[in-house]
């Protein structure tokens, strides 16, 4: 399989975590978001959304949307599982993943931040206020959701798709100055996750296109 992604993309990072937890090897094709490569005709032919990641399966299918990709990986490579066994716990893990992927990350995506700064002319203080108001409040909701589902991880005692979404979101939130200080349970889960080899392998700084220094 081939993963098209960008080292600092949180949606790509989610898929890398899922692949690493399942021990799946893949080729990696960097798409430089800062150079706009996601908008090239060749890339748009694979993903009309103009977003990373996409996963090209061994059958040649181009899959987009990180949550759908993780669900595909779970179905095609069920062992080890990245969803809980219990149906209610599965729904809770999916709900946490969706809260991060649908309510938090889209409001801080590169194209949104570019729009806020370049077209809506918001200054750095106003952009930071936006980030704390929208993605920040979604993360506060996730803290409350995990208070009732935990375990060592977001849901239960093994990593799931919820953790595969949490860790990249936390990494991005730290980078963009979102205040995470009240989110003590999520901080504990984040620290526990990043100590695992699969999360280490998936870390942005360990990708071939990482810009160091």
Ligand X SMILES: N[C@@H](CCC(=O)N[C@@H](CS)C(=O)NCC(=O)O)C(=O)O
Residues that bind ligand X (CB under 6 A): 9-11, 33, 38, 51-52, 65-67, 101, 109-111
CB 205 to ligand X: min, Å: 16
CB 159 to ligand X: min, Å: 18
Beta bridge partners of 148: none
CB 70 to ligand X: min, Å: 9
Q: Which is nearer to ligand X, 133 or 175 (CB)?
A: 175
Q: Which is nearer to ligand X, 38 or 149 (CB)?
A: 38
Q: Which is nearer to ligand X, 7 or 190 (CB)?
A: 7
Q: Which is nearer to ligand X, 87 or 190 (CB)?
A: 190
CB 113 to ligand X: min, Å: 8
CB 152 to ligand X: min, Å: 25
18 and 193 Cβ atoms separated by less than 8 Å: no
CA dihedral 105, 107, 108, 109 (to 10 degrees): 80
Question: What contacts 53, CB < 8 A, 6 or more positions away?
Answer: 3, 4, 5, 9, 11, 12, 15, 64, 66, 69
* Cα gap 146→169, rounded to integer Å: 15
Q: Which is nearer to ligand X, 68 or 91 (CB)?
A: 68
Other beta carbons less than 10 A from residue 85's beta carbon: 9
* Cα gap 150→158, rounded to integer Å: 10
């Amino acid at each position: 399989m081939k993963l098209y992604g960008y080292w600092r993309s949180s949606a790509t990072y989610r898929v890398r975590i899922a692949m690493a937890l399942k021990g799946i090897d893949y080729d990696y094709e960097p798409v430089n978001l800062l150079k706009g490569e996601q908008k090239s005709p060749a890339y748009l032919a694979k993903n009309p959304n103009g977003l990373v990641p996409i996963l090209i399966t061994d059958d040649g299918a181009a899959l987009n949307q990180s949550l759908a990709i993780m669900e595909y990986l779970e179905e095609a490579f069920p062992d080890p599982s990245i969803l809980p066994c219990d149906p209610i716990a599965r729904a809770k893990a999916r709900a946490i993943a969706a809260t991060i992927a649908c309510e938090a990350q889209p409001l801080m995506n590169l194209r949104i931040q570019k729009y806020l700064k370049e077209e809506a002319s918001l200054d750095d203080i106003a952009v930071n206020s936006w980030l704390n108001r929208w993605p920040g409040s979604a993360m506060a909701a996730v803290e409350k959701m995990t208070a009732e589902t935990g375990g060592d991880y977001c849901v239960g005692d093994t990593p799931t798709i919820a953790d595969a979404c949490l860790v990249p979101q936390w990494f991005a939130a730290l980078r963009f100055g979102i205040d995470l200080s009240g989110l003590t349970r999520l901080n504990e889960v984040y620290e526990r996750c990043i100590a695992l080899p699969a999360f280490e392998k998936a870390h942005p700084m360990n990708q071939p296109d990482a810009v160091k220094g």
